[in-house]
């Protein structure tokens, strides 16, 4: 009987060794997978940092562009103001010329001296 118990014991030991070997293989596979996942996470972290830097750069560029647009808007407003003033001055000059031409066309005795002097 001792031989039979030894055979059963040997069979149990062999089964335990096979289970240990299988468990070791599973643990190695899990460890390799975890290392791969850590590498992926590190790569993703690096990408996120690069994207953050790009976003900060873009935000700075947008702020700078906004300042340029505001300055451009002020320049346009100033040009419109000058154009309005010039248009009024041109209109006044045209009226004075028309008045001068009308006065010049009158006989001299009908001209008003103050109007002629103002031209």
Tens of pLDDT, residues 64-77:
999 999 999 999 99
Segment 76-107, tens digit of pLDDT? 999 999 999 999 999 999 998 888 877 777 77
Task: For residue 105, give the DSSP letter.
Answer: T
Q: Alpha-carbon distance 40 to 36, whole Å?
A: 6
Say if CB 103 and CB 119 are below 8 A apart: yes
Q: Enter the tokens of residue 44.
A: 């993703």
Tell which wins on pLDDT, 119 or 61: 61
The mean predicted confidence, pLDDT, of the chain is: 85
Separation in Å, CA 42 to CA 5, 17, 30, 45: 54, 37, 18, 5
Tell which wins on pLDDT, 68 or 36: 68
Number of H helices, E strands in the chain: 2, 0
Q: What is the CB neighbour count within 10 angstroms for residue 47?
A: 10
């Amino acid at each position: 009987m001792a031989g039979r118990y030894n055979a059963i014991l040997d069979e149990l030991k062999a089964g335990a060794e096979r289970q240990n070997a299988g468990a070791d293989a599973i643990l190695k596979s899990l460890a390799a997978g975890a290392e791969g996942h850590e590498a992926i996470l590190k790569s993703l972290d690096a990408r996120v940092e690069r994207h953050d830097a790009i976003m900060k750069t873009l935000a700075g560029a947008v702020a700078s562009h906004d300042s340029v647009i505001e300055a451009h808007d002020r320049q346009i407003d100033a040009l419109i103001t000058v154009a309005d003033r010039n248009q009024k001055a041109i209109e006044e000059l045209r009226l004075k010329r028309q008045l001068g031409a009308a006065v010049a066309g009158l006989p001299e005795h009908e001209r008003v001296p103050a109007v002629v002097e103002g031209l």
